[in-house]
Structure 1
Amino acid sequence: MKKQNPLTSATRKVAFGAAAIVVLAGATILTGCKKEEKTQPDVAGIERPSKAVTETYQSGTHNGFFWSLWQSDGATGTVNYANGPGGNYSVNWNGFNGNFTCGKGYSAGSPSYKIGYNLGTYSNSGGGTFGWYGWSRNPYYEYYVNETWGAVSPHTGTYLGTFESDGAGYNVWTRWMTGKNIDGGDGFRQIYSSRVNKVSTGQNHVITFANHYNKWSSLGYTLGQLNIPAIMVSETWGSNTNGNINCTIWMQ
């Protein structure tokens, strides 16, 4: 990653190809990380890219929280990301073609995290999910706790059963990915819990991550080192997608 100078004003506009991304944050920007694009079959008229692409990654700290914004190269359309007070952030996008993720969280993951959050607004005409997200090393896992999702269901791979956490039912899925992991090596595993019923907006909710970590471990999928940032992620992918998300997180 190539580290750039800190932002000198509250607003900085960064252009990636034909896509314009507006970041509202007084934070250091990191660029140049690469991650393999995941593959997904066409569903409901939404096509996800099936080849590896160069991607752009930005991250920093804001009010004690880690934040990041990632998007695939060659994307078109407009994405507006803003860091609000405390653990709040918002993102809206129009006519977006490609894949992006963004969110606020912490500079390292932990199996003991208990995350409170309020999803004030959620609309997403594309694919992609909203929930707790991160990576582990040794072994390489990309993990999700999916609280809600856009127009396309995230339920793919091998179904491993259902369990209850924080008063909600979750389905567990896993699949092996042949793309590049976060360190540029070949292959990694996805593991995720996905709510049986999508979360409601405008109410306080909790994710007790230990419940998911322990459930995955009991099924033979134990995460590795978690000294990698973890965020409450907002994601979209697809063609000509539009959406608006506002979220606030805190540590319980």
Structure 2
Amino acid sequence: MGHEGQSKTTQGQNNQSVTGKIGSSGYHYEIWYQGGNNSMTYYDNGTFKASWGGTNDFLARVGLKYNEDKTHQQLGQIDAYFKWTKSGSAGGYNYIGIYGWTVDPLVEYYIVDDWYNKPGSYLGQKKGEFTVDGDTYEIFQNTRVNQPSIKGTSTFPQFFSVRRSARSCGHIDISAHFKKWESLGMKLGKMYEAKVLVEAGGGSGSFDVTYFKMTDGSSVPKTTTTTTTTVKKTTTIAPRPSTKTLPSSCSSKITAQGYKCCSDPNCVVYYTDADGTWGVENGQWCGCGSSANCSQKIIAQGYKCCADSNCTVYYTDADGTWGVENGEWCGCGSA
């Protein structure tokens, strides 16, 4: 994906939250800090960059903003997909992952998937652990007394899920953490936000989110339009399918970066770039799609490349050249 669309940079305001909408994306940004030289740059597709130096506490985040009138159960399933890089340092405490607040009751929460220094004893009391998105998370609860919050200086609990092994890309099932916390008696209120966050308690560093997507129960899936094309051939050709049936092989450009091919031959393509088509398994990015040489636009729709390098082209459109094998459409020709 990378950074796409118009970019805007804000230096925020010391000891005050600065927040707003990001174009027509449906996402919001927010920046807050105590001291230092800090900024964040956000893009129309929700990706963002942040940098800090000399701060006591710095938070930059992008994601879903709510009206404080619905619980997470009312909002439906909430998920995040991400890929980021980091550099520099972030002081004595730092968190990278999902962040937000609820009201009634007022709760600050973290799902920590990455860090500069792994969070330690300041997380509070350990409440339990559970496994999701390919790893085990330890769960903690802490109490903050007369500290800054979205409702001014307040006393409130903090909830934490901390992944045992750090990662910089993948999927976070946010709702799974909410449900687990509440099963442990950690009550959440009505949602203020759910966002991808970097927080630094000092140091000098930078953070760059190069792939970003968040969804909830209100997200509207894209519809699929089926086009029927008449082909002059004696064999019967199946209609071009609307569901993906992808092989478990994948682009060598993806595996060269250290990623694996998805094990599921029916993997879902989450995005496509110059390296190939990408899926997610166990919370990690993987190559999802054929490594054969035909149009990536055809592969991205869920079709295979023709196995025969001398395939016959039956149809050509903006996506590429199409052949037929075993009564099914396939990509026929150069990528």
TM-score, structure 1 normalization: 0.70
Question: Counterpart of 2:214?
Answer: 251
Letter in 2 for 1:146: V
Give the CA deviation at 1:158: 0.2
Question: Counterpart of 1:184?
Answer: 152
Give the CA deviation at 1:10: 6.7
Give every structure 1 segment of 4 or more consecutive aligned residues whose post-TM-superposition deviation is greater than 3 Å: 9-13
Percent of aligned positions that are identical: 23
Counterpart of 2:83 (choices 118, 123, 146) is 118
Letter in 1 for 2:29: W
Question: Counterpart of 2:31?
Answer: 69
Question: Counterpart of 2:257?
Answer: none
Across the two proteins, how many residue pairs are aligned to each other?
A: 196
Measured in 1, the distance between the counterparts of 2:200 and 2:120 equals 11
Contact 1:66 1:229 in 2 (8 A): no
1:236 aligns with 2:200: yes
CA RMSD of aligned residues (A): 2.3
Question: Counterpart of 2:38?
Answer: 79
Give the CA deviation at 1:86: 0.2
Contact 2:7 2:41 in 1 (8 A): no
Distance 1:124 1:191, change over 3 A: farther
TM-score, structure 2 normalization: 0.54
**Taking CA–CA contacts closer than 8 Å with sequence separation of 6 or more, which of the two structures ends up with the larger relative contact order?**
1
Matched residue SS, 1:55:
coil
Letter in 1 for 2:105: P
Question: Counterpart of 1:224?
Answer: 189
Contact 1:124 1:149 in 2 (8 A): no
> Within 5 A, what are the aligned runs for 1:90-239?
90-93=49-52, 95-108=53-66, 110=72, 112-119=77-84, 121-125=85-89, 126=91, 127-151=93-117, 153-155=119-121, 156-180=123-147, 181-184=149-152, 186-199=154-167, 201=168, 203=169, 205-226=170-191, 228-238=192-202
Distance 1:12 1:135, change over 3 A: closer
Matched residue SS, 2:105:
coil
Q: Deviations over 1:136-164 (max 9, x none)?
A: 11111101100111235245200112210
Matched residue SS, 2:178:
helix
Letter in 1 for 2:47: N
Letter in 2 for 1:231: K
Question: What residue ranges of structure 1 are gaps of 5+ in the alignment?
Answer: 1-8, 14-20, 24-30, 32-53
Question: What residue ranges of structure 2 are gaps of 5+ in the alignment?
Answer: 1-5, 216-335
Matched residue SS, 1:216:
helix
